[in-house]
Amino acid sequence: MTINPLARRVYEAAHITGTFTLRSGVVSHEYFDKYLFEAQPLLLLDIAEELAPMVPDGIDALAGLELGGVPIATMLSQVTGIPARYVRKAAKDYGTCRLAEGGDIAGERLFIVEDVVTSGGAVVDAANALRERGAVVDSGICVIDRESGGLSNLQDIGVSLKALFTMTELKNAAEQ
């Protein structure tokens, strides 16, 4: 089995153990703290370069989800030249009152960018909210799929999400 050296680097940078309650409510004894890999500029750049070929043609903007998807979308924007939008969990109730910052989204084909997907709940919520505002959302990427049904849940709402790494791949990389 060939191990991806980037998978090992992500694992070494971000894998921590303890007791953690995930967004889905599930309790886990291991966690990938995405901020630990997102805060390392060279590692983040290498991740973005690996993600870049996964972005389909015809995308108007990358939609980085608050908060973990924002640094990834920003770096991916640098690598691909595709503009980024920064998607809040809820629209502001002051100022511009926007759900997404960085430009208009109505009529735009957006590509979701997320850090870690477990059940996919945050991506489902974001995709639905973006669609309500006139965006076309049918695909996206994440760095880590925890293999807990998220990709299937997204397929159910018409979003094809691909992962750079699965939990299994990251664990296998750490064992080599």
User: For 39, phi and psi rounded to 5 degrees?
Assistant: -85, -5
Look at domain 44-166 and name its CATH class. Answer: alpha beta
Q: How far is 18 from 96, CA to CA, in rounded Å?
A: 40
Cis, peptide link before residue 6, omega less than 30° from 0: no
Tens-level pLDDT at each residue, the chain (176 residues)? 567 899 999 999 999 999 999 877 889 999 999 999 999 999 999 999 999 999 999 999 999 999 999 999 999 999 999 999 999 999 888 888 899 999 999 999 999 999 999 999 999 999 999 999 999 999 999 999 999 999 999 999 999 999 999 999 999 998 87
**Does residue 158 contact residue 123 with C-beta atoms inside 8 Å?**
no
Q: Which two tokens stand for residue 125?
A: 């919520």
Pairing of strands 100-101, 84-87: antiparallel
66 CB-contact burial (10 Å; exposed 0-12 / middle 13-18 / buried 19+): middle
